[in-house]
Structure 1
Amino acid sequence: MNTDLLSWPNSVDFAITICDTAGTILYMNEKSQKVFERWGGKELIGKNLFDCHSENSVSIIKELMATGKSNTYTIEKNGVNKLIHQTPWYSNGRVAGMVEFSIETPEGMPHRVR
């Protein structure tokens, strides 16, 4: 197998964070580690992401994992616009946790209808 294929998550310019169904952070690509550096960065792997989210956010994440649905929205934080996509990941046909993609978007990002 091409080793570049396995290293692609660290070559992209967006954050990828993966947790299991209990909320334990299993993986953070380099961008994710940098985004969350002030909260521990790479040291967050093995910690529970529910501990650093509001009750409302924890409820949403748990609901997504229970139903297998995805959640996509945009935010502005500290003057940076982001698109957030949260989606369950599966193992043996069962929800095994959640993947979050956090992508910085430019101001006035175009929207096209195709």
Structure 2
Amino acid sequence: MPEPKSDPPPPPRWQEELGAAITVADETGRIVAINRRAAETLAAEGGRALLGSDVFACHPEPARALLREMYAEHRAHHYTINRQGQKKIIHQMPVFTDGEFRGFVEISIPIPDEIPHFDRD
């Protein structure tokens, strides 16, 4: 993997306090940002102590292989999970600055079991 270009700035206050978990990894796979909700969700795995660690090492197979493909192809991945009785939608998306790949952001948003759907065509 390439060396990181530079450390990102700290997250804005709204990201820190957002009711969704946000984790950011740079282009090398190093975890560079974890907001409060992500730190709480990942407390058993280390919470904010995960900063600076390898995002690939945090995932078991086959998720690790999928994440490596996403990095290689700069491809997003979206899915839902149920964690401790809470349904969540997970968005893993590549991050670019001036068209240059800078890593990935994962946003985990709690959703109710039943959620309205609207067609806006």
Aligned to 1:78: 84
Contact 1:65 1:95 in 2 (8 A): no
CA distance in 1, matches of 2:98, 2:114: 41
User: C-alpha separation between the residues in 2 aligned to 1:47 and 1:88?
Assistant: 18
Runs of 4+ in 1 over 3 A off after TM superposition: none
The structure 1 residue matched to 2:70, chosen from 42, 64, 72, is: 64
Percent identical pairs in the alignment equals 34
> 2:57 and 2:71 mapped to 1: Cα distance?
17
| Superposition TM-score, scaled by structure 1 size | 0.87
Instruction: Report the TM-score when normalising by structure 2.
Output: 0.82
Map 1:1-114 onto structure 2 (within 5 A).
6-114=12-120
**Gap regions ≥5 residues in structure 2:** 1-10
Instruction: Figure out how many residues of one structure are paired with residues of the other and give that number.
Output: 110
Higher helix share: 1
Q: 1:43 to 1:53 in 2, by over 3 A?
A: same
Q: CA RMSD in A?
A: 1.6
